[in-house]
A and B are shown apart, each in its own frame.
Chain A
Amino acid sequence: MKSHGKLVRMLRATLLTICVLLLFAASTGLAARQETVTMWAFPLCSDDIEMYSKLVNEFEKENPNIKVHVEVLPWQGRMEKLMAALAANQAPDVMYLNVFLVPKLAATGNLAPLDKYLPSDVRADYFSGAIKSCQYDGRLYAMPVLQSVVTYIYNVDLFKKAGLDPKAPPETWAELEEAARKLTCDTDGDGKIDQWGIRFDLNRPSPITSVVPFVWQAGGDLISADGTEAIYDSPEAVRAVEFIKGLIDKGYMQKSNIQGGGLPFTSGKIGIDLQRENMDVIKLRAEGLDFEIAAGPILKDAKKIGYGTVGSYGILGKSKNKDAAAKWVLFLTRPDNMAYIMKNTGFVAPRKSVSPAKYVTDPVIKQFVEQAPNCRPETPHLYIQEVLSTMQPAIENALLGLKPVEAALKEGTAEANRIMRRK
C-alpha cells in the first residue's frame, strides 16, 4: 500500500513536471518567433539616426515578427570594436562594410554567404563592378548599397576663357593634356604662370582614387588575375604614372599638389581638378564657389574605367538570425529604399533600376552619377591594403622625380610581393 501511494505521488510529480516543461517550451516558442536583428552602421549623412529610423519603422510594419536595432557608430576604431565583439560572440547581425573588409571577413568565416538570398533578376540589376567587389572566392558575401564616382571637375569659366568648349570636356588622355596646356598661362603678364591647367593630389584620399584609375585606363591593374602577385610595375602601369609625371614636368600643375600643397581648386586658378568624388560637390559648394563647375567624363586610354568605392551590408557569420537579417538587408537595398538612402547620403545607387532622377537634383552631381556604370572599386583581395601601402611611397618617389618611374614601381611591387609571400 505504502509503495503504491509512493508510486502515485511519483507519477503525479512527473506529470506535473512534464506539464510545466511543455508550458515553458510553448512560451519560449512563442517568444522565439519575435526575432531581433542588430546592425552596426556608420555616419553617411547629416542625420543617420533619422534616416535609419524611418527605414526601421517601415520594415517592422512589413515584418511584425522582426525587430531591428540600428546603432550608428563612429568610423574611427570600428575594426577594434568588431574584433572585440567577434571574440566575445557579441557581434551584430548586420554591418556596413567597406570593400577591403569583405575578403578579410569572408576568408575567416565571419561573413555569411548571401547567394541563396539574392534572386537572379536582382543580381542582374546591379552594376557588375559593385557586385564583384562583394564577392570572395566566387561567392557573394555582401549586398552593395551605395557607390561613389571619381572623375574630374573643371572650371567652366576658365574653359570658356581658354577657348575650350565646356560642353565637350576632355574624354581621353590626349584631350586632357591638350586642355591642360591651354589652361596653363600667365594671366597678369608678369612672366610667371599663375593659372594651372591641372590639380592632382596623390593622397586624396589615397593613390587608389588618384593614380589607380589611370593604371586601369592604360590596361593594367594592381594585382594579377589569379590574385597571387602585385603587378603595378607592368608596362601599362608605368605608362600611366609617366603620363601623370609628364603633366608635372610640362608645368601644367604645381609640383606641390602631389603632397596636398599648392592652390586649391576653389581659388579659381585651377582649370581641372582630377579625381574628385561626387560628394565633394557638396563640400565645394559649402566652401563657396564663385565660378561655375561641371564634372567631366571618366577618361579613356586603352579602356574607359574609373574608380568608385562600394559600400555594402554584410551578415556576420555568427549571426543567429541570418534569415531575418537577410530580409532586412534586402529591404534596405530595395530600389525605393536605396533611392531614399542615396538622397540622404549623396552617394550613387549601384543598381540600374534606381534612376538618378529619384535622388539627385544638383546638375553637377547628376553628371557624376551618369559615370557610375564605368566605375569599379579596387580588387577585393585579402592583401589589397598591404599592396596599396607599398604603392603610395613608390608613386610618390616617381612623381616627385626622386626615382625613375619604372625603378620606383618595380621597387614598390617587389615589396608588395614580399609581403604577400610572407602572409
Chain B
Amino acid sequence: MNRLRKMPMKNFWTYFILVLLGSTMIVPFIAMVSQSLKPGSQVLEYPFRWIPENPSMENYRMLFKQNPIMRWTLNSFIVAGGSTILQLITCSLAAYAFSRTSFPGKDILFWMMMSMLIIPSQTTLVPLFLLFSKLNLTNTYTALLLPTASSAFGIFLLKQFMEPIPKDYDEAASLDGCTRFQFYSKILLPMCKPALAVLATFNFVTQWNDFLYPLIMTQTRDMFTLQIGLSALQASGSRGEMGGMGVVMAGAVWGFIPTFILFLLLQKYLVEGVSSAGIKG
C-alpha cells in the first residue's frame, strides 16, 4: 500500500491501462478453459458462468476417446517442430552467407529472395499441390515439411541480427584457426539466440496453427494435423452433440498448450530479442 501511494500518478495510470489491456487478452483463454470443464448442459447456458459449478474432465475424456487426437497432435509436432528445426538451420546458414560473406550477385540474390515476401501464401497452394501430386508426395510428411523448410522472413530476420555483430569476431576466430563452419556454429549462433528464439517461436506457432495448406495436402484422416481434426469437431459441437461445445473447447485448450509451453520456455530470449532490437552499438 505504501508503494502504491509513492507511485507517481502517470505510472499508476500506465499500469492500470496495461492491466486492463492484458485482461482483455486473457479473458478469452479463461473462458475457453472454463467452458472445457463444464458438462454439456452448462456450456451454452445464459448468463455465462465463469467458474463451473461442477468442473469435470469429461469433455477431455470424450475428446480423446472419440478422436485420434494423439495422432493428430503427433502430426502437428512433426510438421511444426520439423519445420522449425529446418528453418533454424537453413535460414541461419543463408543469413550467415548474406551478412558475413561476399560473393558475386549477393545483393541481387538477396532482393530476389526478399521479393518472395510479397507473394501471398494462398497463391502458391494449388501450384504446390499440383507439384507434389505429380511427384506422388501428397498426403506425406515431405509435402508438409518441404515448402516450409526455409523462409525469406527467417533469412531476413537473422541477417539483420547478424550484420551488426563486428567483423572482428570473424578475423579473431580465423586467426585462432576456426573454420567458417566452426565460427558459424560455435561463435555466431550462440550470439544470435534471441533472434533464433523469435524465429523458432514465430514459425512454430504459425505452422502449428496452419490450416489450409495441410488440409489441401492431406487426404486421409491419419495424416490430419490437430487444427484440421479440431475443425471437424466444431460441426457436431455447434449442434449440441458429442458433449457439444465443451468438447470443442477442450480441443482448443489441448491445441493451445504446446505453443504456450514453447513461449514459456523461450520468453527470456524473446524479451531479450525484442529489447535489444532498439539498442544500437
Contact = CB atoms under 8 A, between A and B. Distances in A.
- Do A and B belong to a common assembly? yes
A327 B228 CA distance: 30
B197 to A, nearest CB: 31
A84 B241 contact: no
Given A80-B216, A84-B125, A87-B129, A73 B235 contact: no
B34 interface: no
A74 B236 CA distance: 11
Contacts of B211: 76-77
Q: Please classify the interface of chain B as helix (H, G, I), strand (E, B), loop, or mixed, using the class held by over half of its residues.
A: helix
Contacts of B235: 42-44, 74-75
A150 B143 CA distance: 43
B238 interface: yes
A282 B231 contact: no
B26 interface: no
A81 B126 CA distance: 9
B212 A77 contact: yes
Interface stretch (A195-203, A236-244, A284-292): A284-292
A45 B238 CA distance: 10
A81 B215 contact: yes
A70 B80 CA distance: 27
B216 A279 contact: no
Contacts of A42: 235
Interface stretch (B6-14, B41-49, B146-154): B41-49
A157 interface: no
Interface in A5-49: 42-47, 49
Contact of B239 (A71, A81, A283): A283
Contacts of B33: none
A81 B133 contact: no
Contact of B40 (A49, A85, A88, A286): A286
A72 interface: yes
Contacts of B242: 46-47
A346 to B, nearest CB: 7
B81 interface: no
Given A74-B232, A87-B129, A287 B45 contact: yes
Interface string A59-98: 0000000000001111111001101110111100000000
A105 to B, nearest CB: 17
**What 5 A-B pairs are tightest by C-beta distance, nearest first?**
A286-B240, A43-B235, A74-B231, A283-B240, A46-B242
26 contacts: A43-B232, A43-B233, A43-B235, A45-B236, A47-B66, A71-B219, A71-B221, A73-B215, A74-B234, A77-B231, A80-B216, A84-B125, A84-B129, A87-B126, A88-B130, A88-B133, A88-B134, A267-B46, A279-B239, A283-B44, A286-B41, A286-B244, A287-B41, A287-B44, A287-B46, A287-B240
Given A73-B215, A264-B46, 17 more contacts: A43-B232, A71-B220, A73-B228, A74-B215, A74-B232, A74-B235, A77-B231, A80-B125, A80-B215, A84-B130, A88-B133, A90-B133, A279-B239, A282-B240, A282-B241, A287-B45, A288-B44
